[in-house]
Structure 1
């Protein structure tokens, strides 16, 4: 079975499939102990790799290189990659999709935003003409072999959300995402518009969408939930706290002995040793 098929089967199974947003190899190492699926978040990658907001700075070779490192360390995890608008040009989008499939990505998300792009939960988003986006999406779908493709719209006007969701559901995309959904009622409405097509919901702390449990999402007919930033924001909070405590303690490091709960060199090394490739046997194949 290929990575795309494995994720497609997971999405088709009962319940809502969670994919956890990771932003670097260390966050992925921690997340891998709790969940079997990653979301390679554009928000997190822009923050960690460039130290910049998610407004279009990501260059596709950087994202592809990151995905390749992830797959080498985590051969058994689902890996859905955010490729923004396909890096503007349709031919570039197709090239990136083929590169990602060859290195073992499970799927990609392709959005309909116009440059300058924004985080899906930010104000000021603009979208491409629908025909222009559908042409790009069609080329991407033709260029993949088994990769799962999520068609995403960032429309904000109610009538346009409905029109685009219906149009995306008519394509050969595997899953539909309307980003920045503001209410449970709108999730229900989108679910009705797209028929039997699998639906993805994006949750981000402090974003525009309601905070919902997996059980609640399953009841609403949501097939996939991506959590863009739990690792990034938790790391932000934990680092800020740790450094404030270090300053308060006049530079004395915390005691990691016993059951203190603190992480030291031993715990960190043990976590990272699990990623050494010779310890892995990949259960799926990558298309030649």
Structure 2
């Protein structure tokens, strides 16, 4: 299957394509039951895998291994992976891209940030000289065959944002992302300068960008939207509440029906796995 082509075709269809941010296999199981596209964000992966902020701690083998596990578990879903700045140098970025493409990943996001990097919705971001980033981006584009590539800029000055968005749109990158867009008007301006190139919008709760529905994004000419943190933030809130309740009741578990346990089992395919094991045992016992 050509996963990159499949995602390109989906993005080219009418409306705005949603890709839901996941941070581990369990969150991916839940998101995959509701949406056809998943996104691995650096924010969520750094928090869940390392317990650290998204400021450049991610090691590329860890991200590749996680992406490979996701593809094995969800062979029919679109899967976009955040590879930050390509892990510093262009040669390594190309190696990672080739590994991910061989693993069946649909696409990657490559940013123009300078180290030490920051989450796209925080202050203090610095960007590489445009020519340096374009050289890295073009090497990555030449190293892929089918993989979709999102060219991302983290510029914060309005004039520089438009200049870089236009430059990224002129490359062979499949999609352009300006992270940390602060207004609907800015989205319209970016849409205007990148021509027919598909536009991606990053939605993160509590971030700098406006909260918009898929219908509103489609009306603005946005082709694809990534939702970086809904699973992570929901889990954080639920676990905080559960721990506070457990502590307040002197360690007594709350009274719940069996649906919670059954739901958790269903999310990880407990029924299918049990049925498979039962069938295997039956076959062996009849030999």
Q: Classify the TM-score, shorter chain.
A: over 0.9
Q: CA deviation at 1:253?
A: 1.7
From the two aligned structures, give the one with the greater helix fraction: 2
Instruction: Give a deviation string over 1:39-65, Cα, whole Å, max 9, x none.
Output: 101000000000000000000000000
TM-score (norm 1): 0.92
Is 1:187 the counterpart of 2:183 in the alignment? no
Within a 5 Å distance, the mapping from 1:9-88 to structure 2 comes to: 9-88=9-88
CA distance in structure 1 between the aligned counterparts of 2:115 and 2:244, rounded to whole angstroms: 39
For structure 2, which runs of at least 5 residues remain unmatched after alignment? 277-287
CA distance in structure 2 between the aligned counterparts of 1:13 and 1:252, rounded to whole angstroms: 51
- Per the alignment, residue 283 of structure 2 pairs with none
CA distance in structure 2 between the aligned counterparts of 1:268 and 1:163, rounded to whole angstroms: 48
CA distance in structure 1 between the aligned counterparts of 2:264 and 2:204, rounded to whole angstroms: 27
Within a 5 Å distance, the mapping from 1:229-244 to structure 2 comes to: 229-244=229-244
SS in 1 for 2:109: strand
- Per the alignment, residue 260 of structure 2 pairs with 263
Q: CA deviation at 1:84?
A: 0.2
Q: 1:272 aligns with which of 265, 268, 287?
A: 268
Q: CA deviation at 1:122?
A: 0.6
CA distance in structure 1 between the aligned counterparts of 2:80 and 2:35, rounded to whole angstroms: 13
Q: CA deviation at 1:269?
A: 2.0
CA distance in structure 1 between the aligned counterparts of 2:122 and 2:209, rounded to whole angstroms: 11
Within a 5 Å distance, the mapping from 1:129-144 to structure 2 comes to: 129-144=129-144
CA distance in structure 2 between the aligned counterparts of 1:199 and 1:162, rounded to whole angstroms: 13
Structure label with greater radius of gyration: 2
The alignment yields a C-alpha RMSD, in angstroms, of 1.5
CA distance in structure 2 between the aligned counterparts of 1:116 and 1:79, rounded to whole angstroms: 27
For structure 1, which runs of at least 5 residues remain unmatched after alignment? 280-288
- Per the alignment, residue 286 of structure 1 pairs with none
After alignment, is 185-194 or 236-245 more displaced? 236-245
SS in 1 for 2:181: coil
SS in 1 for 2:268: helix
Q: CA deviation at 1:256?
A: 3.1
Q: CA deviation at 1:159?
A: 1.0
CA distance in structure 2 between the aligned counterparts of 1:155 and 1:86, rounded to whole angstroms: 17
Runs (4 or more) in structure 1 with deviation over 3 Å come to none
Q: CA deviation at 1:255?
A: 2.8
Count residues with an aligned counterpart.
Answer: 274
Instruction: Give a deviation string over 1:211-248, Cα, whole Å, max 9, x none.
Output: 11100000000000000000000000000111112222
Q: CA deviation at 1:74?
A: 0.7
Is 1:127 the counterpart of 2:124 in the alignment? no
SS in 1 for 2:260: coil
Q: CA deviation at 1:126?
A: 0.4
Q: CA deviation at 1:250?
A: 2.5
CA distance in structure 2 between the aligned counterparts of 1:12 and 1:218, rounded to whole angstroms: 12
Instruction: Give a deviation string over 1:87-109, Cα, whole Å, max 9, x none.
Output: 00100000000000001110000
